Amino acid sequence: MAPDEIAHPAPDSSSGVPESAPTSESANTKNNGTRGNRGGRDRGNDKQKRKHAGFGSAKGEVADKREQVRNNRDAKRRKVIDKDNDGNSYMSIAFTPEEIAAEERRPKKKVAVLIGYAGTGYHGIQINHKEKTIEGDIFAAFVAAGAISKANADDPKKSSLVRCARTDKGVHAAGNVLSLKLIVEDEGIVEKINEHLPEQIRIWGIQRTSNGFSCYQACDSRWYEYLMPSYSLLPPQPHSFLGKKLAESAREKGVYDEYVDRLDDVKNFWEEVEKNDIQPILEKLDPGVKAEVLRRLHDTQDQNDDEPKEGGSAEVAASSNDVPMAEQQDNSKGLKPEKELTPADLGLRELKAAYVAAKRRYRVTPARVEKLQAALDLYLGTRNYHNYTIMKSHKDPSAKRHIKSFQINATPITIGDTQWLSLKVHGQSFMMHQIRKMVAMAVMVVRCGAPLATITESYGPRRISIPKAPGLGLMLERPMFTEYNKKAMGLQREIIDFAKWEAKIEEFKDQHIYRRMFELEEKENSFHLFFNQVDNFRTDYFLWVTAGGFEASHERSDRTERVPKGLEAELGDEADGVEEVGT
């Protein structure tokens, strides 16, 4: 037991006077005529003595506060694990008292752990009891490799675990940092930890730091990259709910020609697709089947529906190869057989495939890239991003964030049939969903032919709903420790820098992050689904992109306001993760 944890027995208080209290005579003698009955030194001694005596001392030993905190924390943890999570936990690894007692005690050191990961299949980075997270797997690997003792395996707080940047569900990181206390005597500890991790999570290195180091507090800024198909910049289909509203509003406000001019090189895209790709398919169908296919194709989901209608927006958004996994399995295993498709089902499937294929054939023009860059430039500097996170007040000081740069790579890359654009943003810190909403806002303005001033207006007090772009495309490039590194170099300590692992990181990005992004988009059509959902909701939530502006859109009143169920995912209200970077 540490010196400050020693329990002091209560003195005998039967006489009503503390056993160790000095008498008036002895006090006066020691003070030698100084002011009062006690000198400075004795007053301090008496204070220490009275701390463990006097009123209430007969009640027995005073419980150690640290032990009380530990007990309370353990009780709360056990409640979550046993009561709320059926005895299972991703952040508490249990060992028997015998196993703990038999383990050799080794010293812990405060370190910075440099990591990278593909977030696919994980519920974000931050460890919790109930969900599979990046930190959960890393913590288990620390324990398995002996970097965290069995005695501390039941609670990450015992190792002072802190992450530099928090990432959402499915979001990737080429570089991120954890700080905590680890047992790092073994020179091969990094390799041992990686042996217990899946290939989509890597430890790049472990660096010694001062005992007071916190990677969260020491981080100056963060770099993120967002990858998206260039077809994201295509305007809504004219027959979609949003497509119709855009044209109607522009005519009502007398700005139709200006609206069309802002669409420039894509204003005839859908007309040509209908003529060259869709009409040939429709002409092959029987009249009755054709009418049913068109009805289902143009039907959209009502905002009050809990589930999509047959042929509603969710069905229109799906691609021809979006076959449910159950239908792909061997039916001999007793799974439900695939429903027999009607001629209308087959016709609709063929049309959907044609629309998706047309989108993937699109190649962005330099003029369109310039429009997107002009939109991203409006984020630079310190702005009020209360509309870009989970219902923050305009008056909340924490809604103001500083963006250093937001740049699109003018040279797209083509993977398979799809052309991709890379956007990189550098900021001091970001709120939950902020980057994904910034991307969505800029893309919505460009694809819908809205004035760029819409972005500037979003910093004002009016509350609007901005959709949350797919997490699939977001990657934390790396956090920056500029000021910390300056001090570390002055003290001849190792700086936090990913440069020494650059080759490994680039290889990891290509194999595990970019590849997953590209393959998942090809398989699941995430961006196609996202924009179809946004375009086909019969609500006024996103009508701020029309000529009617913010006044034409729904103004949310508070965080508890009920929104259409189908919009929860687009707005981030389903709370599917944690902050991308802490406040």
- Residues within the annotated binding site? 224
Name 352's Cβ contacts closer than 8 Å, sequence gap at least 6.
316, 318, 319, 320
77/154 Cα distance (integer angstroms) = 9
Instruction: Please state, as a whole number, how many other Cβ atoms lie within 10 Å of the Cβ of residue 106.
Output: 12
Annotated binding site for substrate: 224
Reported in sequence order, the residue ranges of 332-437 that DSSP labels E, i.e. its strands, are: 381-384, 400-408, 413-415, 418-427
Torsion sign (Cα): 428, 480, 411, 231:
negative
Burial of residue 557 (CB within 10 Å: 0-12, 13-18, 19+) is: exposed
576 φ, ψ (degrees, to nearest 5): -85, 5
218 φ, ψ (degrees, to nearest 5): -80, -15
CA angle 293, 298, 303 (to 5 degrees): 130
Catalytic residue among 168, 261, 302, 345: 168
Torsion sign (Cα): 306, 547, 460, 447:
positive
The structure tokens listed for 175 are: 């570089």
Residue type, 124: G
Q: 170, 134 in Cβ contact below 8 A?
A: no
405/389 Cα distance (integer angstroms) = 19
Tell me the CA distances in angstroms from 305 to 222, 234, 270, 322, 542, one per residue in order.
40, 28, 28, 23, 18
173-206: burial string, b at 16+ Cβ within 10 Å, e else: bbbbbbbbbbbbeeeebbebbbebbeebbbbbbb
**Region at 226 (left for phi over 0; alpha for psi -120 to 50; beta for the rest):** beta
3-state secondary structure of 206: strand
Reported in sequence order, the residue ranges of 448-493 that DSSP labels E, i.e. its strands, are: 474-480
The structure tokens listed for 563 are: 């929104």
Task: Mark whether 168 is an active-site residue.
Answer: yes
Among 423, 412, 413, CA closest to 377: 423
3-state secondary structure of 222: strand
389/437 Cα distance (integer angstroms) = 8
3-state secondary structure of 37: coil
Task: Kindly list the catalytic residues.
Answer: 168
